[in-house]
Structure 1
Amino acid sequence: MNKFDMHTHHYRCGHAKGTIEDYIKAALDSGLQVIGISDHSPYFAEKMDHPYPHITMAASGFDEYIQEIEELKKKYKGRIDVLAGVESDYFPKAASTYKHEFAKYELDYLIGSVHFVEDRNIFDKNRWEGMTEEEMLRVKNKYYYLIQQSARSGMFDILGHIDALKGYFPYISELYTPEIEQTLKVIAETETAIEVNTSGKMKYCGGWYPSAGILEMACHYGVPVTFGSDSHVPERVGDEWEEVRQVLKETGFKEWRYYKERKPVIQPL
């Protein structure tokens, strides 16, 4: 069984530390056999080359990003499997533009994440101020509808942190919506994987994305799972991998996976 981490970032996105090679070295130190490089994709639909320098890399830097991964794949061949990935926002109106750009490259996998609802970042600590529960629930329902759309788009192999709304607002998890169950049904139908993302511990909510209850529901519907630390510093590569493996086994999952050349590599738990 290979130990893997599919979700890592580096300095190009503007809010992570370290080079790609730093994360590969950290993966080796952590005993990983597979490391996925998945920095935030540029805003391909924007006219400016680098409109948000502290959120994503510049469009003009994407070729260099892919080239660097390919060089490091060769350098570390036989020691660790380095995979070329991207974490991409899902914007319905810009989906065709992103598809066109990603098609130019031989990527191993794509993570699709929803970071914006109603044009506002889900990690904006002030977005919930003054909102009624009804308004909060509207945002939550839109969030899950966007995740459903991202799964149906066929663009992604993995869906990132599917309950990240709770990151800086844990109370949102207490508001029930049937859209969560519907979303997991859609994800199962499309055979897209969800990640167990251990970066929630770095935010107010603590713990992982998604919650134990969502994981149990995902298992019931046969949703595939993978692992991602979502590390923004090399020291977090592979963070809590063994703990996640044990919880998935206890939940009822029999396997998890990583992706290579856009195909799942199934690993027993």
Structure 2
Amino acid sequence: MINLHLHTVRCNHATGTVAEMAAAAYAAGLKEIGFAEHGPLPQPIDDWRLELLDVPLYQAEIEAARSQFPDMPIRFGLELDYLPQFREFYPDLHQVAPFDFLIISVHYIGDWNFDWDRYIDGYNHRDIDDIYRSYYALVREAVENRVGDVVGHLDLPKRFGHRPTEAIRDEVERTLETVARAGLVLELNTAGLLEKVQEAYPEDWIVRRALEMGIPFTLGSDAHDPANVDTGLEWAVRYLYDLGVRELVTFERRQRKKLVLEPQWKAANSRT
């Protein structure tokens, strides 16, 4: 099946080159993959992302992998961290290369990276519901500003086990309504299955509500290691299929393409 969320050594916190990740995906029987390296920003705020000058090298590595695995479509993308102070930068970044897809992500609230265990103490000094309110407001702003095509790992602040109260359901509803109006896609991200939270992003009720609103889905394992190229995907396919989903979304040159969801994909497509 599809995995539209792979990282490489180019983000400085993953292992595996484009070639190594592609080889692992091919061996695992994936039908299609997409690389979504952490995208550049106009000013340095951290050291775990692709540099703007390295985008052509990243693209060349993907082209080489396409030549090596011609029967496995390989999509060229970025995961774009949304920071409001850089909102004017994203439209220019979209034109830097012929990207197939762009994932919208929020990892920062202000200057706090809530997604990194190095800064986990920040949860102890903030109201958890306020964290979620700020997070969902940023997601909505990113969607409204058309920063990308896919909303990645929605409900990410739960990563370390911090859960909001029922009051935050209204924030989620507003966010899903914004995604639906914008015609964007949600990612079912299986990385959480390996993390403390031990569930996918977003959680079950959010997935079900998104489907009720007609929001389409794509899949990603958010792999930072070749060993995780298919982590949780077999579960994700069965989960979505059992919810009535029969199509997933992929992209080519920022245009949507439909991919039939087959519940027995791995057995049918395994190349090992």
Decide: shared fold, TM above 0.5: yes
Contact between 1:9 and 1:232, CA under 8 Å: does it hold in 2? yes
Contact between 2:129 and 2:165, CA under 8 Å: does it hold in 1? no
Counterparts of 1:98 and 1:185, CA distance in 2: 23
2:70 is the counterpart of 1:67 = no
| Sequence identity percentage | 27
2:110 is the counterpart of 1:118 = yes
2:151 is the counterpart of 1:153 = no
Q: TM-score by structure 1 length? A: 0.90
Counterparts of 2:164 and 2:73, CA distance in 1: 36
- Three-state SS of the structure 1 residue aligned to 2:227 is helix
2:196 is the counterpart of 1:204 = yes
Select 1:38's aligned residue among 16, 26, 36: 36
Aligned to 1:26: 24
Deviates more, 1:183-192 or 1:242-251: 242-251
Contact between 2:8 and 2:18, CA under 8 Å: does it hold in 1? yes
Counterparts of 2:193 and 2:165, CA distance in 1: 18
Structure 1 residue 149 displacement after superposition: 1.3
Aligned to 2:69: 76
2:87 is the counterpart of 1:95 = yes
> Where do 1:1-269 residues align within 5 Å?
3-43=1-41, 45-46=42-43, 52-53=46-47, 55-77=48-70, 79-123=71-115, 124-131=119-126, 135-168=127-160, 170-177=161-168, 178-269=170-261
Counterparts of 1:195 and 1:9, CA distance in 2: 15
- Three-state SS of the structure 2 residue aligned to 1:128 is helix
Q: Which runs of 5+ in 1 are unaligned?
A: none
Counterparts of 2:237 and 2:50, CA distance in 1: 32
Amino acid paired to 1:91: L
Contact between 1:188 and 1:224, CA under 8 Å: does it hold in 2? no
Structure 1 residue 21 displacement after superposition: 0.6
- Three-state SS of the structure 1 residue aligned to 2:102 is strand
Contact between 1:158 and 1:195, CA under 8 Å: does it hold in 2? yes
Structure 1 residue 175 displacement after superposition: 4.8
- Three-state SS of the structure 2 residue aligned to 1:129 is helix
Aligned to 2:267: none
Amino acid paired to 2:231: D
Amino acid paired to 2:148: F
- Three-state SS of the structure 2 residue aligned to 1:253 is coil
- Three-state SS of the structure 2 residue aligned to 1:35 is strand
- Three-state SS of the structure 2 residue aligned to 1:204 is coil
Amino acid paired to 2:20: D
Counterparts of 1:173 and 1:219, CA distance in 2: 22
Deviates more, 1:66-75 or 1:113-122: 66-75
CA deviation profile, 1:34-67 (whole Å, cap 9, x unmatched): 1101111122x21x5xx532x2122322221122
Q: State the number of aligned residues.
A: 257
- Three-state SS of the structure 1 residue aligned to 2:147 is coil
Deviates more, 1:7-16 or 1:56-65: 56-65
Amino acid paired to 1:125: I
CA deviation profile, 1:209-240 (whole Å, cap 9, x unmatched): 11001111111111110000000001111222
Q: Which has the higher contact order (CA 8 A, sep 6+)?
A: 2
* Structure 1 outlier segments of 4+, above 4 Å: none
Q: TM-score by structure 2 length? A: 0.89
Contact between 1:215 and 1:251, CA under 8 Å: does it hold in 2? no
Contact between 2:223 and 2:229, CA under 8 Å: does it hold in 1? yes
C-alpha root-mean-square deviation of aligned residues, in Å?
A: 1.6
- Three-state SS of the structure 2 residue aligned to 1:171 is coil
